[in-house]
């Protein structure tokens, strides 16, 4: 038995992670968070300081159907541990039978019909000795798969919360654009009245009045067009919170503040903070156990079987001592020839293991790329926001000067129109940049794994229960 235990199969060792850089390339000038914000928390969206966003994010964990489906998949994987664990113990079955009949009188050595009755109450016990570790490896594979499913659940949760935040900030960006357009409509209406008065006084031409009317109506059309995009985003947020689109109304709230500084950490932290990385690592463990299970097929299966019960021709003597029977003994089952099937299964398991290793390493590299992309986007947008703020200030000065010159009769209304378009375009561009900065911050948090940590993975007992 000791020699047999020494031959127990096991999966391959966990492969090393790819060589990670000591720091992110795009973090050279990154401002660290304040001492109280050195780590992302579970409810990471609260760092944006928006009560309305917090209220929308809360129902996702309770009411989102996509998250419920992921939760159900995890429960299925956890139940599979109990199924695999059942092979550790003897299997006891019972199949009571009551048979009565009449045999043919034309059988060999028979001269007449003979009535036959048989009452059987057996109990069969079978047990497979886990000498080669097949059952143990099956439990290990089921446990690793369940932990991978738990990490998948957290990845879905993070993705849904991030998607809602992205939709919310885009919606608020549209609200800010609507405010700008509404203010511009009011300003263009006053400019139209001024031009009409000047036309009535013979100072302005009909062309100036037409230009003012065109500018006003075109801007009003742009303001109305934002309504369709806002409605679509509002409907998407409603579905993410588990509500019908008609059941949710998001009040208008224009963007105002820039995104917060996000604690970043080191590239090596992603191995602990990304649920998809943890899922890929756990699937390596499951695939390694599958390799070991495939290896056990080359060894014989050792079985212990026993049967006992009562059997009698008569119901009255069925449970008497004379009706008892029993049998017990070991058995071995070995495959002597299968045309290469076991070798092919083993090769298939090994290839599956290599696939999970490659996917694990690719997941790590992709996570590094996502962080670097978000950091680069935030750095560029921060610089662009400063430049755009200067452009907005210059456009507003140009508009004020053009309006003064037009009132004084120094220039035509075409110069005012040009300045108005420049000011409106730059104001909307500034709002767009702010919205993109907030979206990039959400994507950075998602790339960093949100507030999750690999220590949050459930420690599952062999029967599937949490520790």
174 inside domain: yes
pLDDT band at 333 (very low <50, low <70, confident <90, very high): confident
pLDDT digits (tens, 9 = 90+) for 10-22: 667 666 667 777 7
Which CATH number do you get for residue 36?
1.20.1600.10
- The confidence score (pLDDT) of residue 466 equals 66
3-state SS class at 466: strand
Total domains in the chain come to 1
pLDDT digits (tens, 9 = 90+) for 375-427: 999 999 999 999 999 999 999 999 999 988 888 878 888 888 889 999 999 99
324 inside domain: no
- The confidence score (pLDDT) of residue 52 equals 94
Provide the pairing of β-strand 114-129 with 324-333.
unpaired
pLDDT at 354 over 90: yes
137 inside domain: yes
Contact 435, 170 (CB under 8 A): yes
pLDDT band at 34 (very low <50, low <70, confident <90, very high): very low
pTM attached to this predicted model:
0.86
Average pLDDT over residues 433-452: 93
pLDDT digits (tens, 9 = 90+) for 102-159: 777 666 666 667 777 888 989 999 998 888 889 999 999 999 999 999 999 999 999 9
Q: How far apart are CA 252 and CA 162, in angstroms?
A: 20
In this structure, what are the phi and psi dihedrals at residue 307, rounded to the nearest 5 degrees?
-145, 140
Mean pLDDT of the residues in the chain = 87
26 inside domain: yes
pLDDT at 224 over 90: yes
pLDDT at 467 over 70: no
441 inside domain: yes
354 inside domain: yes
Q: Which two tokens stand for residue 430?
A: 């500034």
pLDDT band at 1 (very low <50, low <70, confident <90, very high): very low
Q: Give the range of the structural domain holding residue 411, as residue numbers without chain letter.
A: 2-90+130-299+341-456
186 inside domain: yes
429 inside domain: yes
Q: Which two tokens stand for residue 168?
A: 């919310």
């Amino acid at each position: 038995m000791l020699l047999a235990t020494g031959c127990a199969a096991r999966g391959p060792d966990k492969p090393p992670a790819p060589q990670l850089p000591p720091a992110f390339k795009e973090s050279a000038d990154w401002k660290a968070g304040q001492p109280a914000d050195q780590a992302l928390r579970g409810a990471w969206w609260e760092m944006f300081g928006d009560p309305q966003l917090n209220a929308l994010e809360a129902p996702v964990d309770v009411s989102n159907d996509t998250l419920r489906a992921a939760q159900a998949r995890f429960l299925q994987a956890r139940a599979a541990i109990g199924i695999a664990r059942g092979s550790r113990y003897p299997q006891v079955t019972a199949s009571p039978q009551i048979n009565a009949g009449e045999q043919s009188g034309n059988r060999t050595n028979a001269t007449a019909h003979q009535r036959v009755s048989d009452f059987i109450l057996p109990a069969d016990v079978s047990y497979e000795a886990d000498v080669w570790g097949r059952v143990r490896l099956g439990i290990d594979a089921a446990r690793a798969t369940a932990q991978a499913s738990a990490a998948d659940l957290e990845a879905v949760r993070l993705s849904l919360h991030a998607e809602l935040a992205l939709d919310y900030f885009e919606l608020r960006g549209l609200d800010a654009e609507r405010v700008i357009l509404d203010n511009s409509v009011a300003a263009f209406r006053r400019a139209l009245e001024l031009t009409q008065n000047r036309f009535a006084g013979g100072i302005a031409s009909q062309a100036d009045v037409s230009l003012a009317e065109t500018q006003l109506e075109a801007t009003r059309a742009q303001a109305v067009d934002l309504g369709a995009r806002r409605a679509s985003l509002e409907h998407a947020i409603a579905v993410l919170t588990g509500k019908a689109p008609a059941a949710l109304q998001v009040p208008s709230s224009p963007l105002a503040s820039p995104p917060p500084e996000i604690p970043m950490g080191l590239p090596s932290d992603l191995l602990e903070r990304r649920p998809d990385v943890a899922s890929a690592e756990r699937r390596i463990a499951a695939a390694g156990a599958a390799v070991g299970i495939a290896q056990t097929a080359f060894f014989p299966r050792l079985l212990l079987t026993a049967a006992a019960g009562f059997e009698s021709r008569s119901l009255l003597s069925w449970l008497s001592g004379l009706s008892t029977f029993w049998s017990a003994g070991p058995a071995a089952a070995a495959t002597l020839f299968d045309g290469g099937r076991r070798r092919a299964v083993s090769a298939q398991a090994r290839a599956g293991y290599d696939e999970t290793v490659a996917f694990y390493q690719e997941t790590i590299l992709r996570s590094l790329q996502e962080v670097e992309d978000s950091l680069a986007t935030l750095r560029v947008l921060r610089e662009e926001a400063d430049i755009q703020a200067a452009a907005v200030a210059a456009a507003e000065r140009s508009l004020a000067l053009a309006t003064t010159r037009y009132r004084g009769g120094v220039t035509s209304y075409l110069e005012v129109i040009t300045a108005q378009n420049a000011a409106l375009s730059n104001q909307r561009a500034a709002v767009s940049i702010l919205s993109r900065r907030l979206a990039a911050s959400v994507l950075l948090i998602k790339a960093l794994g949100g507030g999750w940590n690999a220590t949050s993975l459930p420690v599952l007992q062999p029967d599937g229960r949490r520790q």
